[in-house]
Structures are given as structure tokens and as C-alpha cells.
Amino acid sequence: MERVWYNSCRHRLCPQCAWVQIERWLVTQKARLLACDHYHVMFTIPQDLHGLWLANVGVMTNLLCASVRDTLLELLGDAQYLGAKPGIIATLHTWSQTLLLHPHIHCLVTGGGLTRTGQWVPVRNGFLLPSRVVMALFRGKLLAAIRRALHQGQLHLPAGMRAQPYDNLLNKLGRQKWNVHLRERYAHGEGVLIYLARYVRGGPLSNQRLVSCAQGEVSFRYRVNGEGPARARRNVLTVSIEEFIRRYLLHVPPPGSRVVRSYGLYAPTVRGALATCREQRGQGPVEAPMPLDWHAYCQGRGDAHPERCPVCGRLLMRRGVILRGERPPPAEPPAQVAA
């Protein structure tokens, strides 16, 4: 059996080239995780702000991340809740299962933090924060940041929108309920970290979800919230190629933008505080993981080795390299076995 293996485009949205980069990120972050409970918190902006997002992707990304950061650090730093600095890893996610625009942030938050006196304290009774308080503070901070950026000329209004009607819209959004979700407690952070890794690289659609591309249409699988994997396989959406490209390009981040950010104890600038917490939690210093290359990654996949023949199970051998613009050579006929 022969297989053509496309690689080396190295684009951050390529689902194939992203494998090794995602694994490298995971190995590095797992080595830094504190041995404590972790929480998964999600922040979503209202659909009414999608037009402003599309007109100012870079600035809106920074405003959203800063509002999430300030909300969590302010509340968890309050003695009423935790009174300490937590560790936060946040990833930006802009797509829904059907590739529509849906900007939101997933956060991995430690179930404890470091006080100003240098002591580790866990959250009380396994309860991180009240969701209504988180929602109200996040809503207020983001709306205030948007108003300030509009006043300073850092944000541009969507096409056809005037200042006064948009200010009325922001006032309306300030009275509505926003979607902020605090998930249950996890005994460790690795499971949530693996979930966050999906958004580091690879784009909104994996190769496995593509069904077909024929007659000017693209079909791909999608999952409805609350449905399991078996049900997800039966959901197939078909759109025109133009519509598919339009949806896909909604999620290409601007050059230089950061979709993953670390705050608090997990910030790269506070290694001393992280080392103090690790010592109090019975962990040793953070050890830099061994460099992960393509061959080491493949070996770790076991039976799912990407270079293993799906028919006989043996490792495939490289026959040659096809340069850009060249056509692959014709397959050789199988050898005849003498009777």
C-alpha cells in the first residue's frame, strides 16, 4: 500500500502540521501544572457584538482576554472568595461546530492560589466562584473596555452603524444575561489542558470531520451540544464551497495574535511564585521536557502510529519526496509470486 503524506506547510490552522506543535505545547504545560484541583470556566460574548468583532479582530481579542483575566484575578483575589492569586491558562476559540462565528474563551483555573504572605490556600468547599457574580463583573468590564476603546478611536464601528445607536445597544447588553459557564471541579488539570490544546493550533475543522467535496459543495460532520459521539456521526452539513471558505476564513487569526495566554501563577513572569506553590504542594521544580520531534511523537502513538500501514500494520517506508508542483510517480504493480 502507498500513501501520499502532505506536510510542512506549517500554518497554525493546518490540522496535519499542527500535531507536533500541539504535543510540544501539551508536554510543556503538563510539566508546569500544580498538583491541585482545577476548574474549567468559559466566557462568551453576545451575538450582538459579532459585527464589532469582525471589524476589529485584533483589538477585540485583547479586550476580551484582558476582561477575562481581570475578572478572575479580581474575584479570586477578594478575601470573600479565595483571597489569593490563582493560576490561569486561557485559550481563544472563535468557531461553532458548524464553523459560524462564536468567539469565547476557555480557562483552566487552579482550585487555590498564593496569598500575599506566600501561603497556598485551596478554594473553600470545592466551590470556585458564583456564576452570577462572575457574569456581572465580566459583562461590566468588557462593556467598559469597549466604550473606552471606541472613545479613544481604537475600535471602528461596523459598517453602517452610527455612534449613538451603538451606544444604545451597549446599554441594552448591559441589562442582559451573558453566557458564562463554570464547570465542575476536576481532580487534576490535564484533562482540561488536553481540551484546550485543540484550540492552540489546527484550525476549526479536523480532517476526520470532512465527508466530501464534490459538485461545488463541501460536506462535514458536526456535533450538537449535548449529543454523544454516536449521534454526532449522523449530523452532516453541506454548504457551497464559497460558503465553506467564508466560514473557515472567519477564524484565521491576525498575524502575530496570541490565542493562548497565561495569567497569575501560570504567567511566565512569575516563576518564583509558581516554584513556591509547587514546593508547598510537594512538587519539585519545573523540569524542562525533552525536545519532541516527529519521530518521538509517532512512537508515542503506539498502534495509532501515523506512519503505520492500516492493512498489514507494518511501518511504511519513505519512497521519495514530491516537491511543490510535481506529480506523484505512478504506483508500481505488485510483485508476482511464483507458483
Phi, psi for 95 (deg, rounded to 5): -125, 155
pLDDT > 90? residue 325: no
Q: How many residues does the chain have?
A: 339
Residue 219, all three cell numbers: 460536506
Phi, psi for 330 (deg, rounded to 5): -65, 145
Q: Is residue 115 part of a domain?
A: yes
Q: Is residue 319 part of a domain?
A: no
Q: What is the pLDDT of residue 338?
A: 54
124 and 34 assigned to the same domain: yes
Q: What is the pLDDT of residue 142?
A: 98
Q: Is residue 3 part of a domain?
A: no
Listed residue (238, 195, 154) closest to 22, CA to CA = 195
Q: Is residue 293 part of a domain?
A: yes
103 and 177 assigned to the same domain: yes
**Residue with grid cell 459579532, as numbered in its chain:** 50
Q: Is residue 200 part of a domain?
A: yes
pLDDT > 80? residue 159: yes
Question: For residues 56 and 186, which has the higher predicted lDDT (pLDDT)?
Answer: 56
Which amino acid is it at 261? R
82 and 166 assigned to the same domain: yes
Q: What is the pLDDT of residue 232?
A: 45
CA distance 264 to 179: 24
> What value does the mean pLDDT take over residues 141-154?
96
Q: What is the pLDDT of residue 335?
A: 55
Kindly state the percentage of the chain with pLDDT values over 70: 86
Which one of 19-33, 151-165, 200-214 scores highest in mean pLDDT? 151-165
> What value does the mean pLDDT take over residues 326-331?
70
Q: How confident is the model at residue 62 (pLDDT cuts 50, 70, 90)?
A: very high
Q: How confident is the model at residue 257 (pLDDT cuts 50, 70, 90)?
A: confident
41 and 100 assigned to the same domain: yes
Q: Is residue 7 part of a domain?
A: no
145 and 235 assigned to the same domain: no
214 and 236 assigned to the same domain: yes
> What value does the mean pLDDT take over residues 65-81?
96
Which amino acid is it at 33? L
Average pLDDT, the chain: 86
Q: Is residue 1 part of a domain?
A: no
CA distance 114 to 189: 17
Which amino acid is it at 57? V
131 and 224 assigned to the same domain: no
> What value does the mean pLDDT take over residues 264-281?
93
Listed residue (247, 239, 251, 242) closest to 212, CA to CA = 239
Tell me if the pTM is above 0.95: no
> What value does the mean pLDDT take over residues 158-180?
94
**DSSP string for residues in 228-287:** -HHHHTT-EEEEEHHHHHHHHHTT-PPTT--SEEEEETTSTT-HHHHHHHHHHTT--PPP
295 and 163 assigned to the same domain: yes
Q: How many domains does the chain have?
A: 2
122 and 198 assigned to the same domain: yes
Question: For residues 179 and 25, which has the higher predicted lDDT (pLDDT)?
Answer: 179
For 201-235, write each residue's pLDDT tens digit. 778 888 888 899 999 999 999 987 655 554 545 68
56 and 157 assigned to the same domain: yes
Q: Is residue 54 part of a domain?
A: yes
158 and 75 assigned to the same domain: yes
Residue 231: give the domain boundaries. Answer: 207-250
64 and 97 assigned to the same domain: yes
pLDDT > 60? residue 310: yes
pLDDT > 90? residue 194: no
For 98-108, write each residue's pLDDT tens digit. 999 999 999 99
CA distance 231 to 10: 33
Task: Classify 312 as helix, strand or coil.
Answer: coil
CA distance 225 to 94: 16
**DSSP string for residues in 168-205:** HHHHHHTTSPP-EEEEEEESSSHHHHHHHHTTTSS-S-
Task: Classify 117 as helix, strand or coil.
Answer: coil
CATH of the domain at 31: 3.40.1310
Phi, psi for 125 (deg, rounded to 5): 55, 30
